[in-house]
Amino acid sequence: MIIPEKLPTHVTFIMDGNGRWARKRGKERLAGHLEGTESVRAIVETSRELGIKYISFFAFSEENWNRSEAEVSGLMSLMIRSMKNEMPSLKKNGISFRVIGNRARLPKDVNECIDDMEAMTAECSDMVLIIFVSYSGKWDIQQAACRMAADGADDLEPYLATAGIPDPDLMIRTSGELRISNYMLWQLAYSEFVFTDTLWPDFRKQEYLAALEEFASRDRRFGKVK
């Protein structure tokens, strides 16, 4: 049983293993990404039930632009379809939607859909759902440093793409990979990490609750002595 006081405020996910999930079943990679959207839905619903305030997903990195044109195009189309499909549910459940990343690289139709989603859920306040698209931690720090220098400021955090969002308490990565892959390099400094061998399309409520229980058992000292 998870004690409410020990729940994280912000949980973030590196969703890994979609391609391997599809390959094991003799399917195209995009089939794994499609099944992975069901895992996103399960995690968002569970987080809403538990009262977790912020939930975020690393959906597409800047490095992912190097994948095949067919896969990138398929992912962009899937993103648009998923956003449109989830809009009624997000509004009904009071979930605000945000996208963070280098949006200048995104196709026009994707940006238009994002703008619509963000505007339509702007007044929602029960939970914040954040999707990182065309994002890299190095890009984030670089753009923040440039803006900070231009303003003659001395604090980087207000210039990060995540300004106003609490740093993740817990980062979960699926598929057995043991790295953070250029994701929120600044913001994950004191996050707890949980790595699981489960492929993302198979990561659902049961696996999520197990990760939250693992988080609750950790002793977070933030450099202090207890």
Three-class secondary structure of residue 186 per DSSP: coil
Q: What is the token pair recorded at 200?
A: 């993302």
> What stretch of H or E contains 114?
helix 108-120
Question: In whole angstroms, what is the distance from residue 209 CA to residue 200 CA?
Answer: 15
CB atoms closer than 10 angstroms to residue 189: 9
Q: Which residue has the tokens 């604090």?
A: 155
Catalytic option among 64, 93, 102, 111: 64
16 is catalytic: yes
Three-class secondary structure of residue 194 per DSSP: strand
Q: Which residues are catalytic?
A: 16, 64
